[in-house]
Amino acid sequence: MLKRTGTILITVALLCSVCLAREIAGVNMPEYYKLGQDNLVLNGAGLREKFAIGVDVYVCGLYLKSRTTNAAAIINSGEPMVIRLQMVRSVNAQEFSENTLAGFHESTRNLGIDIRSIDSEIKQFLQVFSGSISKNDVFDITYSKADGVRVYKNFSRTPAVTIKNMTLKRALFGIWLTNRSEEKLNVLRRGMLGQ
């Protein structure tokens, strides 16, 4: 009887662990994220496809203290939050960095931020993508009031970059959460907002 109960408990535990992840393009995005003392929940996730050619590039998930569809509130919030970006293919690091910079340009325009005011912070952030970017690489872009923006690559305990600047944080999260000129980015945004 005890053996049977143990087997049932193990089966239930395995089923629950499967339920606690969302799969997109073969990537399991966990439903929960622990950032310091904060327990965050997956707000939404989506797939970034390269425009025109429809090639899958990465899966992106947004973690917040509580779910919301209000992009402006997320961008302007000082609450802890995380964007997890997992590559589904290897990409050219320079091209990825250039695309991210283009995202900063569009995000700052959308938010009314003078991009020149955070030029050095953007350059510092882009250094994260200076090495190789391979399939299955994971970038955790975290924000908290205490630590600012931090980026961790492949579950490292040491951040690849730390930037304490709320304007940069707004522009950075705006890359994924503001309305964009490319419709495939808007599809990703809606997925991250759980819409």
H or E element at residue 141: strand 138-144
What are the b/e assignments for 85-105, b being 16+ CB within 10 Å? bbbbeebebeebbebbbebbe
Give the separation between CA 157 and CA 6, rounded to whole angstroms.
35
For 84-126, how does the pLDDT look when each residue is reduced to its tens digit (9 = 90+)?
Answer: 999 999 999 999 999 999 999 999 999 999 999 999 999 999 9
Of the chain, the end-to-end C-alpha distance in Å amounts to 46
Q: pTM, whole model, 2 decimals?
A: 0.86
Give the separation between CA 136 and CA 78, rounded to whole angstroms.
30
Three-class secondary structure of residue 146 per DSSP? coil
For 41-54, how does the pLDDT look when each residue is reduced to its tens digit (9 = 90+)?
Answer: 999 999 988 755 66
Give the separation between CA 138 and CA 63, rounded to whole angstroms.
15
For 101-110, how does the pLDDT look when each residue is reduced to its tens digit (9 = 90+)?
Answer: 999 999 999 9
Q: Which CATH architecture has domain 22-192?
A: 3-Layer(bba) Sandwich (3.50)
Average pLDDT over residues 49-69: 86
Could you state, in order of their start, the residue ranges of all structural domains in the chain? 22-192
Give the separation between CA 90 and CA 82, rounded to whole angstroms.
22
